[in-house]
Amino acid sequence: MPDAYLPLRNAINKLQPLTENEWTDFAQKLIIETYPKGHFLIQAGQIEHYIYFINSGATRNYFTRGDKEYTVEFHFANEFVTAFYSLITREPGTVNIELLENTEVVVIAYNDLLAFYNRHHHGERIGRLIAEYQYARRLRKEMDLLALSAEERYAQLMSRNPELIQNLSVKHLSSYLGIQPESLSRIRKLYARN
């Protein structure tokens, strides 16, 4: 089993430990891919067929309205990323998932995942827990947008990946935080002083 699968196995074991037979059955369908910065895992209008586990790198999830982009999420190493709505509904998605740097992912095909669910009760439980986590994460973000200041939201994002956040474009980061680029520059200066 490649060492590149170890972070994924650790993440899964935090949700639900798998037996050696279950893990072997699951891992035989996994694929490791490396993509360059700027590559899209999926683009709006496509149907999502994969879940990705990020071994290294980062993504930006965004959608467009007219000529404006709206960044809805960033994902970093040791996180799952997918166009979740499209994956579940099997409808074309509205989200683009763009790589912010060279990225290594473990690719999990949705059909292989469903087959694993059918063969193993623990697999179904893992799927449910990941879905619950995604729902809770989305709800937390919505609540944070309403209840936290832009400075507090920036600090939360910095706690996830400070090196990358400092290098993100002002345009993408301000879109995610729901603020104007000038406000982000002010927040970055305040944060740097502290």
* Cβ density class 20-35: b for 16+ within 10 Å, e for less: eebbebbbeebeeeeb
Classify domain 3-123 by CATH architecture.
Sandwich (2.60)
Distance CA 162, CA 185 (A): 16
pLDDT in tens, 27-61: 999 999 999 999 999 999 999 999 999 999 999 99
Mutual angle of helices 121-147 and 150-160, in 10-degree steps: 150
Residue 194 has pLDDT above 70, yes or no: no
pLDDT band with cut points at 50, 70 and 90 for residue 151:
confident
Residue ranges per domain, the chain?
Answer: 3-123
| pTM of the predicted model as reported, rounded to 2 decimal places | 0.84
Question: Of residues 103 and 1, which shows the higher confidence score?
Answer: 103
